[in-house]
């Protein structure tokens, strides 16, 4: 369903009229295209504090991005502020002093990335100061406008955070704003810079259409061999997707008792490196009107089958060491939503699964586990939402528009990349900084 309002505000009369009426002013986001695969322009690197408080290796990591490091940029495409050295609240004045003079000059569709340190459990002054950065960045994301985004990355290692910085400084992160991403210190695994997933096999569930189809497309673009799974009744669409991507179709209901074994045998002998649990359904009703027939399938498809197949593929050794699982949550699982007790329970459960499994799966199997939590994404699922609720869903975020399936797909590709070894146990909202659950 086309966003006619966004198209209208992209025209001169539309801009004039909506400004006069005080209506939202969404900007067309700059996404990946063959012609423009990277963000272009200058990168302003700032530091809150002296040289001694700088994050080691940050300068060389920033040099390797596609942006031009420019100490005096008048119109930077991106500003990266190293605030990892902030240990007390008086030092927060340095954050203001660095960003206040430049924030107005950030180019349209630009990025502000603040690097913070992990919040200390033993030093309450450091904890207060570093937590303050979260409120700061989330507020800035709401102020920037013009398709600009703001993100906080908590890290102790610029090298560990390199793939995350590259993602945030790329068109792929156009719909990711107001987020806090925690990155560990693990060294990135070696991979081809242009096609980081080459030589890898990816299984994407619910890939006959919508977000799953886009995820399979971006993973294939990044070099992965894709196996796409969907219910047997969607086989025609599934085969079309597989053929287009040079992959394999696996028609299968993910809730089948033997789904894990059937997937494992379809992926033998090489196993799988990337497992994307995207299949999902809604059966909305308020709890008072919701029979078990609407509750059970939602929990089964969205949550229990994800647990069951992940366990089966991990324990059977089908998920290769160095691999990655990405499950699909939703902002409904964070904020809750009237009429979606079943759906929100299932999606909150996904967040629990990620937090509960990530450290152990990495330690025991060398597999990372993360989640994407989409906000309002333009798909058949959201096209079925009544008009006024749909329009509210589209506008109630800092970017004033719905996301596209490709936004979730790009985020998934970053999480799955071997370069993202230090990203584990994260739930990344792809929601344009939705007001819900923020």
**Can you give the binding site for ligand NAD, defined by CB under 6 A?**
205-206, 208-212, 230-231, 234, 253-255, 278-281, 301, 328, 330, 374, 376-377, 379-382
Shortest approach of ligand NAD to residue 249 CB, angstroms? Answer: 12
Q: Are 430 and 374 in contact (CB under 8 A)?
A: yes
Shortest approach of ligand NAD to residue 430 CB, angstroms? Answer: 9
Residue (131 or 255) nearer to ligand NAD, CB: 255
Which residues, other chains included, contact 280 with Cβ-Cβ below 8 Å and sequence gap of 6+? 206, 301, 302, 328, 330, 346
Please tell me whether residue 269 adopts helix, strand or coil conformation. Answer: coil
> What is the Cβ-side half-sphere exposure of residue 309, based on CA atoms within 13 angstroms?
32
The question of whether 343 is a catalytic residue gets the answer yes
Residue (113 or 350) nearer to ligand NAD, CB: 350
Shortest approach of ligand NAD to residue 151 CB, angstroms? Answer: 20
- Name the packing angle between helices 292-299 and 341-365 (round to 10°): 20
Shortest approach of ligand NAD to residue 438 CB, angstroms? Answer: 15
- Alpha-carbon distance of 250 to 329, in angstroms, equals 23
Residue (86 or 279) nearer to ligand NAD, CB: 279
- Alpha-carbon distance of 433 to 438, in angstroms, equals 7
Q: Which one of the listed residues 5, 175, 343, 365 is annotated catalytic? A: 343
Edge-to-edge order in the sheet of strand 179-182: 68-69, 42-47, 78-82, 111-116, 149-154, 179-182
Shortest approach of ligand NAD to residue 205 CB, angstroms? Answer: 6
DSSP string, 176-203: --SEEEE---PPPPP--SSSTTTT-EEE
Q: Are 346 and 303 in contact (CB under 8 A)?
A: yes
Residue (57 or 296) nearer to ligand NAD, CB: 296
- Alpha-carbon distance of 17 to 15, in angstroms, equals 6
Shortest approach of ligand NAD to residue 408 CB, angstroms? Answer: 7
Residue (90 or 352) nearer to ligand NAD, CB: 352
Kindly list the distances between the CA atom of residue 81 and the CA atoms of 49, 115, 309, in Å, as whole numbers in the listed order. 10, 6, 41
Q: Are 108 and 27 in contact (CB under 8 A)?
A: yes
Shortest approach of ligand NAD to residue 259 CB, angstroms? Answer: 8
Shortest approach of ligand NAD to residue 328 CB, angstroms? Answer: 4
Residue (271 or 437) nearer to ligand NAD, CB: 437
Q: Are 67 and 41 in contact (CB under 8 A)?
A: yes
> What is the Cβ-side half-sphere exposure of residue 63, based on CA atoms within 13 angstroms?
4
- Alpha-carbon distance of 397 to 417, in angstroms, equals 28
Residue (159 or 241) nearer to ligand NAD, CB: 241
Residue (62 or 252) nearer to ligand NAD, CB: 252
Kindly list the distances between the CA atom of residue 58 and the CA atoms of 54, 80, 164, 186, 219, in Å, as whole numbers in the listed order. 8, 10, 13, 15, 28
Question: Which positions are annotated as active-site residues?
Answer: 343
């Amino acid at each position: 369903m086309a966003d006619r309002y966004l198209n209208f505000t992209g025209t001169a009369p539309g801009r004039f009229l909506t400004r006069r009426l005080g209506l939202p002013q969404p900007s067309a986001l700059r996404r990946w295209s063959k012609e423009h695969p990277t963000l272009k322009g200058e990168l302003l690197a700032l530091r809150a504090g002296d040289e001694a408080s700088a994050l080691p290796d940050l300068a060389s990591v920033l040099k390797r991005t596609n942006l031009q490091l420019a100490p005096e940029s008048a119109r930077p495409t991106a500003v990266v502020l190293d605030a990892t050295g902030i240990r007390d609240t008086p030092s927060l004045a340095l954050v203001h002093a660095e960003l206040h003079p430049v924030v107005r000059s950030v180019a349209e569709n630009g990025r502000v990335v603040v690097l913070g340190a992990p919040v200390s459990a033993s030093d309450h002054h450091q904890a207060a100061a570093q937590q303050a950065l979260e409120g700061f960045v989330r507020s800035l994301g709401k102020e920037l406008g013009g398709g600009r985004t703001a993100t906080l990355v908590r890290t102790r290692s610029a090298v560990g955070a390199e793939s995350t910085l590259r993602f945030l400084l790329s068109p792929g992160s156009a719909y990711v704003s107001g987020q806090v991403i925690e990155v560990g210190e693990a060294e990135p695994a070696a991979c081809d810079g242009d096609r980081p997933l080459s030589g890898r096999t990816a299984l994407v569930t619910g890939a006959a259409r919508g977000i799953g189809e886009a995820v399979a497309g971006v993973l294939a673009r990044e070099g992965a061999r894709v196996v796409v799974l969907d219910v047997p009744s969607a086989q025609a669409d599934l085969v079309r997707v597989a053929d287009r991507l040079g992959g394999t179709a696996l028609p299968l209901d993910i809730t089948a008792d033997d789904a894990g074994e059937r997937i494992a045998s379809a992926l033998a002998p090489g196993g799988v490196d990337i497992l994307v649990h995207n299949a999902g359904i809604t059966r909305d009703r308020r709890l008072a009107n919701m029979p078990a027939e609407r509750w059970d399938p939602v929990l089964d498809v969205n949550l229990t089958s994800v647990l069951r197949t992940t366990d089966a593929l991990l324990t059977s050794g089908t998920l290769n060491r160095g691999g990655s699982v990405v499950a699909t949550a939703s902002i409904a699982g964070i904020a809750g939503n009237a009429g979606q007790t079943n759906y929100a329970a299932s999606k909150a459960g996904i967040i629990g699964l990620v937090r509960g499994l990530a450290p152990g799966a990495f330690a025991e199997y060398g597999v990372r586990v993360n989640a994407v939590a989409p906000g309002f994404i333009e798909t058949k699922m959201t096209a079925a939402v009544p008009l006024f609720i749909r329009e509210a869903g589209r506008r109630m975020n800092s970017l004033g528009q719905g996301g596209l399936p490709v936004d979730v797909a790009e985020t998934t590709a970053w999480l799955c990349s071997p370069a993202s070894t230090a990203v584990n146990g994260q739930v990344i909202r792809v929601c344009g900084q939705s007001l819900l659950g923020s």
